[in-house]
Amino acid sequence: MSTKDLTKEQSSLAVFRAKKFALWLFIIASIMIFASLSSGYIVYTANGVDKGIKIILPKAFIWSTIFIVLSSITVHMAYLATKKELTAKRRLYLLISIALGTAFFVSQFNAWKVLVEQGAYFINNNASQSFIYVFTGFHLAHILGGVIVLLVAFFRKTERYTSAQNIASTELGAMFWHFLDILWIYIYVFLLLNQ
């Protein structure tokens, strides 16, 4: 490896570390936001104004959970394929992950439709029900960002980059997607325990 190639690789590694650090900061900030929303819900319901959500959570949330867990598996498979430089498999697993992420997105809208049919609106007299829309809507914004990240990874021309750069890029996308998976499971369990 020439000195020029070594310098380029070191520069690429420095950029990856900076991006990874920024991603961790974003994850920590998101955790803090959801923790504050959770504590806000708990404090609000503890004051006796509302006694919880008082509705049955839509079955679409179960489908959402299945879609996002499966997508987390396929994102990991894409990462493993990237490490082995199996470009076709990487693209296939990313495509499946994008489809599952989109299915998650659609199932959330179906859940909102069911909530409206039950009489649980975003703006109503029971703010506990409004929290469902806040939790799921904010997570859905994250999912939209995650699907965009997966699309960028899918269309990335891997042959233009070194193996290390491709692995680093896929690792960042996988980290973000796994975070979204864990975050959804937390939200779903939290809502289940408070319905």
**Element at 65 (helix H, strand E):** helix 60-83
**Element at 50 (helix H, strand E):** none
Q: What is the CATH number of the domain that holds 130?
A: 1.20.120.80
Domain that holds residue 77: 3-193
Q: Over range 163-182, report the average pLDDT.
A: 91
Are 102 and 148 a contacting pair, CB within 8 Å?
no
* Number of domains comprising the chain: 1
Going by pLDDT thresholds of 50, 70 and 90, the confidence category of residue 41 is confident
This prediction has a pTM of 0.88
Q: Which residues contact 20 (CB under 8 A, 6 or more apart)?
A: 171, 172, 175
Interatomic CA distance for residues 75 and 70, integer angstroms: 9
Q: Over range 60-68, report the average pLDDT.
A: 96
Q: What Rg, from alpha-carbon coordinates, does the chain have?
A: 20
**Residue 151, class by beta-carbon neighbours within 10 Å (0-12 exposed, 13-18 middle, 19+ buried)?**
middle
176 closest CA partner among 4, 11, 30: 30
Q: Over range 129-150, report the average pLDDT.
A: 93
Going by pLDDT thresholds of 50, 70 and 90, the confidence category of residue 70 is very high
pLDDT at 49: 61
